[in-house]
Amino acid sequence: MIRRTRLLTSLPLLLLTSALSVPATQAADLPKAPECIAPANPGGGWDFTCRTVGQLLSTLSYVKGNVQTVNMPGASGGVAYANIVSKRNSDPNVVVAASTATTTRLAQGQFPGMNAEMVKWVGALGADYGVIAVGKNSPYQDLKQLMAALQTDPNSVKFAGGSASGGWDHLKVLLAAKAAGVSGLAKIKYLAFNGGGEAMTQVLGGHIDAFTGDVSEVLGFMQSGDLRVLAVLSDKRLPAPYDTLPTAAEQGIDTVAPNWRGFYIPGGVSDQEYQWWTATLDSLYASPAWKQTMAENGLMPFHKVGADFDGFVKQQISQITDLSREIGLIK
């Protein structure tokens, strides 16, 4: 998971060039004085998403004035979701940072009384893709070998990740295992640690067989040779320095697991207001300034807006719901 709060400090010329190319329609007075809600305390991925995108929206003149970041922690995003649904349902001046963690909690019923239909899903501006990796002395040389072991005995491989049981690190292993034809997904052993660093330490020490996490977490250990990445869970190979990593699909296991970074807005805003937000994020994603931001912060290409993003979100929620039910997390 990306946990960066460093704001942009080295882009003045690039920002000026990008600002000059902003379409006139994107400089409209809609919305006015927007704010971005980060559903957690300062320092995490949602906070990073709000602050970096908010700064660029202002600097590139998509909005007038500054975009205020408001931290609204609680219930793993549930407090912010409830605030939008119940108190600001028609407010076009607010946007909320979201990620795969948001869809996971919606899928598992962790926002009581609320569902994905209650907001409008605007778009995603990048992702951190999942990986499955092992220590350098592991007998598993590729993902097919590891999955073959699970097919023989789902208890035979222990995985370590930085999310709770039923969280995204756990689920991405189950997605891969299901795609590989493994039965008895509930029997696969997953141990949750306080972050990816602790989980990797257990794998590197030989205490646990495999690591499940995000590609941004493994670069140093990958380059040192201490960690062997069996697969990246992306639809195609990632840019350098990750371009040597095979995808799961290349190995006959069709699994894509992006931890996307994006936004939703209140469900009661008008179509015009929704279209302003989708068009603005679309234009922002294409800007040189955002491309540089992605490169500096380890975000990989992943972009969907409007109806395309809405469909993706709903499909991901359905997929996670089915998996969670299969392993007994929900009924």
- Write down the pLDDT at residue 237: 95
Same structural domain, 201 and 319: no
Is the residue at 2 inside a domain? Answer: no
200 and 91 share one domain: no
Does 298 share its domain with 244?
no
215 and 202 inside one domain: yes
What confidence tier does 14 reach under pLDDT thresholds 50, 70, 90?
A: very low
Say whether both 304 and 185 belong to one domain: no
Quick one: 187 and 217 in the same domain? yes
Statement: residue 10 has pLDDT above 80: no
- Over residues 163-193, the pLDDT tens digits come to 999 999 999 999 999 999 999 999 999 999 9
The pLDDT tens digits of the residues spanning 212-224 come to 999 989 999 999 9
Percent of the chain with pLDDT over 70: 91
Pair (35, 107) in one structural domain: yes
Alpha helices in 65-167, H assignment, sequence order: 78-87, 100-107, 143-152
Inter-residue contact 259 to 214 (CB < 8 Å):
yes
CA–CA distance, 34 with 283 (Å, rounded to integer): 17
Residue 22 shares a structural domain with residue 116:
yes
Q: Write down the pLDDT at residue 30.
A: 67
Residues 147-163 pLDDT 10s: 999 999 999 999 999 99
Find the domain containing 194 and state its range: 129-257
Tell me the C-alpha to C-alpha distance, in Å, between residue 91 and each of 69, 123, 164. 16, 18, 34
Q: Single out the residue in 257, 275, 306 at which a domain terminates.
A: 257
Tell whether 22 and 171 lie within a shared domain: no
What is the spatial distance between Cα 63 and Cα 54, in angstroms, rounded to a whole number?
Answer: 9
Quote the percentage of the chain above a pLDDT of 90: 85
Same domain, 118 and 32: yes
183 shares its domain with 105: no
Q: Which of 257, 272, 294 finishes a domain?
A: 257
Please tell me the total count of domains within the chain: 2
Query: What is the average per-residue pLDDT within 5-25?
Result: 40
Give the pLDDT confidence of 265-286 residue by residue, as tens digits: 999 999 999 999 999 999 999 9
Residue 106 lies in a domain: yes
Residue 311 lies in a domain: yes
Between 24 and 236, the more confident residue is 236
Q: Mean pLDDT across the chain, nearest whole number? A: 90
Domain with 162 in it: what CATH number? 3.40.190.10
Q: Which of 23-27, 48-52, 230-234, 239-243 shows the lowest mean pLDDT across its residues?
A: 23-27
Inside any domain, residue 243? yes
Please indicate, yes or no, if residue 138 is contained in any of the structural domains: yes
How far are the Cα atoms of 41, 168, 176, 237 from residue 75, in angstroms, in the given order? 12, 16, 28, 35
Judge whether residue 52 has pLDDT over 60: yes
Tell me whether strands 227-232 and 119-135 are parallel, antiparallel or unpaired.
antiparallel
Within a domain: residue 1?
no
At 54, the pLDDT band (50, 70, 90 cuts) reads: very high
Q: What is the token pair recorded at 89?
A: 């349902």
pLDDT above 70: residue 3: no
For residue 22, pLDDT over 70 is answered with no
Q: How far apart are CA 140 and CA 211, in angstroms?
A: 12
Predicted TM-score (pTM) of the model is: 0.87
Tell whether 7 is covered by a domain: no
The CATH number of residue 53's host domain is: 3.40.190.150
Give me the pLDDT at residue 11, please.
42
Both 203 and 238 in a single domain?
yes
**How do beta strands 258-266 and 35-38 pair?**
unpaired
End position of a domain, from candidates 257, 285, 307: 257
Rounded average pLDDT over 195-206: 94
Q: Is 85 helix (H, G, I), strand (E, B) or coil?
A: helix
Residue 146 placed within a domain: yes
Q: What is the DSSP letter of 228?
A: E
